[in-house]
Amino acid sequence: MGYFCPALSKAVKTMKKGEKVLLTVKPQYGFGEQGRPASEVEAAVPPNSTLHIDLELVSWKTITLIGDDKRILKKVLKEGEGYERPNDGAVVRVRLIGKLDDGTVFTKKGHEGDEPFEFKTDEEQVIEGLDTTVLTMKKGEVASARIPPEHAFGSTETKLDIAMVPPNSTVFYEVDLVSFEKEKESWDLKSNAENIEAAAKKKDEGNAWFKMGKYAKASKRYEKAAKYIEYDSSFSEDEKKQSKAVKISIKLNNAACKLKLKDYKEAEKLCAKVLELESTNVKALYRRAQAYTELVDLELAELDIKKALEIDPDNREVKVAYKALKDKLREYNKRDAKFYGNMFAKWRKTENAAGKQNAQPMAIDSTA
């Protein structure tokens, strides 16, 4: 469009669907002093020409870059209904076609009389890029997505229902979101008991992902679990007791995830929240000490380890961690001693050199 007339791309941004306008375009916003040569289908535009253009905005397609790294290109082919979109854990039903760069169809689902393809989002039931795309769509929306290999099938050759996807392939999907059912949020549940049950269930999902080594996914489950029981002012005493136990477990497990993900500050915060609920929790002290160690706050790490051993002197994990911490403290003390020793030696050398330079020979009175 910019080649046809640079002013058009500016004009259409101000228009509504179905709007018709007459544009008068001055040379500096058209083709300027150079004009434009004739082509097979279009006449030449002389230099310094003012243009008069009848323009109608028939339709447009929204193109966006989505995903955390903005590497997935999504184009809306048909607008959907309302404002709701699927959330993590939603059950979605779609019609889709997957193609390679050369147009080869490798998968086709929900077409030619088949039932829509159903899957649960954020459960690795489909490639990450397809998951990401569907989470941005509305019911009834049709969209295309260009998905790079790192969000598709990666560096391995993959057999799909119609054709093989070669390694490192960028793939193209056309997706029609037929319907979806969102996973219930805490405010959707009717009773405190339901919220406590939902938190425990989501925690178990997190545990399953943790065992598979999927720490980021596990952490998301623990964070969702925590939201179900975040506000407990309306809970009975018995419900508060139940939710407290679940809260402690969720935060400890999430802290373990954050340690694995090297997010040590967040791990420290989660352990601190556990210790607010239960000041003698050995796991919280131990994991916070691990976080402090990685953050090179060794004195605080030692305080937590010592307190944990006071509470549970026979805890093998904590004893091993204390030995490792003492070794690290010795290493840092040696390093500090060497650093300050060298610094002091350099300072003394500089002082001595300055003293020699400033020293004056004793004056002799020639009249004596």
CA pair distance 80, 100, nearest whole angstrom: 26
CA pair distance 151, 174, nearest whole angstrom: 16
pLDDT number for residue 108: 96
Assigned CATH class of 63-181: alpha beta
pLDDT number for residue 1: 45
pLDDT number for residue 244: 95
pLDDT number for residue 353: 57
pLDDT number for residue 349: 59
Assigned CATH class of 186-326: mainly alpha
CA pair distance 145, 72, nearest whole angstrom: 7
Query: Over the chain, what HEC string results?
Result: CCCCCHHHHHHHCCCCCCCEEEEEECHHHCCCCCCECCCCCCCCECCCCCEEEEEECCCCCCEEEECCCCCEEEEEEECCCCCCCCCCCCEEEEEEEEECCCCCEEEEECCCCCCCEEEECCCCCCCHHHHHHHCCCCCCCEEEEEECHHHCCCCCCEECCCCEECCCCCEEEEEEEEEEECCCCHHHCCCHHHHHHHHHHHHHHHHHHHHCCCHHHHHHHHHHHHHHCCCCCCCCHHHHHHHHHHHHHHHHHHHHHHHHCCCHHHHHHHHHHHHHHCCCCHHHHHHHHHHHHHCCCHHHHHHHHHHHHHHCCCCHHHHHHHHHHHHHHHHHHHHHHHHHHHHHHHHHHHHHHHHHHHCCCCCCCCCC
pLDDT number for residue 350: 62
* Per-residue pLDDT of the chain in tens (368 residues, 90 and over written 9): 445 677 787 888 888 888 999 989 888 888 888 888 888 878 888 999 898 888 888 877 778 999 999 999 999 999 999 999 999 999 999 999 999 999 999 999 999 889 999 999 999 999 999 999 999 999 999 999 999 999 999 999 999 999 999 999 999 999 999 999 999 988 889 899 999 999 999 999 999 999 999 999 999 999 999 999 998 889 999 999 999 999 999 999 999 999 999 999 999 999 999 999 999 999 999 999 999 999 999 999 999 999 999 999 999 999 999 999 988 888 877 775 655 555 555 665 565 555 555 545 444 444 43
pLDDT number for residue 33: 86
pLDDT number for residue 29: 84
Instruction: Enumerate the domain spans of the chain.
Output: 1-38+49-59, 63-181, 186-326
pLDDT number for residue 361: 47
